[in-house]
Amino acid sequence: MQNFAIYRFIISALMLTITTDTYAQSIQPVNYPELGVSFEVPEGWMGQTIENGYLMGSNVFPGFMLITSHDLTNLPAIKKELSDTFKIGPNSTLTPVGTVETVSDHVVGNTFSGTISGEPAKAVILGCLNPNGLGITIISASNASVFSNQNIEAALNLVKSLTFTKPAQVTPNIQNRKPANEWEKKFSDCRLTYMESYTSNGTGSYGKKVKIDLCGDGYFNHSSYNSMSVSGGNYNGGYGNTNKGAGTWEILKKDDEVILRLNFYDGEQYNYVVTIDKDDKTFLNGNRYFRTYEDAGKYGPKCN
């Protein structure tokens, strides 16, 4: 799970029943010790960890549920977010159809109607405060024609199972003690590629591919392919349409962490915590990215 404010979610999910072959049934509570958060997958639902949270589907109930983190620190701020229209990507807008309701002393929610990827959709979104750190957002949505109280009840059951503890301390990677300029040299004229794919006996698939080209002149190119995903920020469907890419990049040091910051020209900003393990494998926010350079030909960075 990652640190995104609620309004920055982009939802692009298949509005169909998800098969049991694609998703693993959760028996034990799902635990994120680095956030101090655990929860139980509701009965009849299955799930798996994705880049920005935990995505659930069902072979009984239509639609999907996402549980992810947010950085809002008080209920008034969450209520404000849940009172506004969510413009969450191309052909994807959700408008509140009611007023924000109080679920408990630390949870509020609202219902929404609109479109997801151009299809009529309805959703319930719950915002939860975490007394120990990042809050939790739960989105339960489906095609408008099949949305029902079952989608709402599933979200309420999920939020009831939430347990918060003090986040576990993560030991900093020793390589992160290098000066920032050494990290800039390592990533200059470098392509970072994230790939994720699943198949279900030839009957279904899920795929995602992200490419980030970090050019030595200080600009970057960014592209993302998704067949089913939930992501934060403003992914552009291809590379930037100027000769200086989609924006500028920089490496920052914060305490014992190395931060890769992407500053898009449209004002969007992504921050990734960078670690490299003892085998020289690269991870952004805990997700494996492959590094390739100019000598990799078509697999190298596009920095013309």
Which residue, among 148, 159, 91, has the nearest Cα to 125 in the 3D structure?
159
Q: According to DSSP H, which parts of the chain are helical?
A: 75-81, 149-160, 180-187
Rounded mean pLDDT of the chain? 77
Per the DSSP assignment, residues forming a β-bridge with 11 are 230
Does residue 1 fall inside a structural domain? no
> Cβ neighbours of residue 111 under 8 Å, at least 6 residues apart?
96, 97, 98, 122, 123, 124, 152
Q: What is the pLDDT of residue 293?
A: 87
Q: Does 108 share its domain with 191?
A: no
Q: Does 102 share its domain with 231?
A: no
Q: In this model, does residue 121 exceed pLDDT 60?
A: yes
Q: What is the pLDDT of residue 176?
A: 56
pTM exceeds cut of 0.75: no
* Mean per-residue pLDDT, 67-95: 82
Calpha distance 218→35 (Å, rounded): 33
Q: Does 14 share its domain with 160?
A: yes
* Mean per-residue pLDDT, 253-280: 87
Does residue 280 fall inside a structural domain? yes
Residue with tokens 């970072």: 192
* Mean per-residue pLDDT, 82-88: 81
* Mean per-residue pLDDT, 72-90: 83
Q: Mind spelling out the 3-state secondary structure of 205-233?
A: EEEEEEEEEECCCCEEEEEEEECCEEEEC
Of 164, 184, 202, which residue is a domain's last?
164
Q: Does 108 share its domain with 224?
A: no
Q: What is the pLDDT of residue 166?
A: 85
> Cβ neighbours of residue 297 under 8 Å, at least 6 residues apart?
none
Q: What is the pLDDT of residue 72?
A: 80
Q: In this model, does residue 2 exceed pLDDT 70?
A: no
Total number of domains in the chain: 2
Of 115, 131, 164, which residue is a domain's last?
164
- 196 versus 77: which is more confidently predicted? 77
What three-state secondary structure class fits 177?
helix
Does residue 169 fall inside a structural domain? no
Does residue 304 fall inside a structural domain? no
Does residue 179 fall inside a structural domain? yes
Of 109, 142, 164, which residue is a domain's last?
164
Does residue 48 fall inside a structural domain? yes
Amino acid at 214: L
Does residue 247 fall inside a structural domain? yes
Calpha distance 239→226 (Å, rounded): 15
Q: What is the pLDDT of residue 153?
A: 94
Domain ranges, residue 112: 6-164
Q: Does 25 share its domain with 158?
A: yes
Q: Does 52 share its domain with 140?
A: yes
- 24 versus 31: which is more confidently predicted? 31
* Mean per-residue pLDDT, 123-144: 90
Q: Does 125 share its domain with 248?
A: no
Tell me, what CATH number does 60's domain have?
3.40.1000.10
Calpha distance 210→212 (Å, rounded): 7
163-164 β-sheet, strand order: 30-32, 37-39, 163-164
> Cβ neighbours of residue 60 under 8 Å, at least 6 residues apart?
17, 44
Q: Does 141 share its domain with 188?
A: no
Does residue 238 fall inside a structural domain? yes
Q: Does 159 share its domain with 208?
A: no
Q: Does 193 share its domain with 63?
A: no
Q: Does 190 share its domain with 131?
A: no
Q: Does 196 share its domain with 54?
A: no
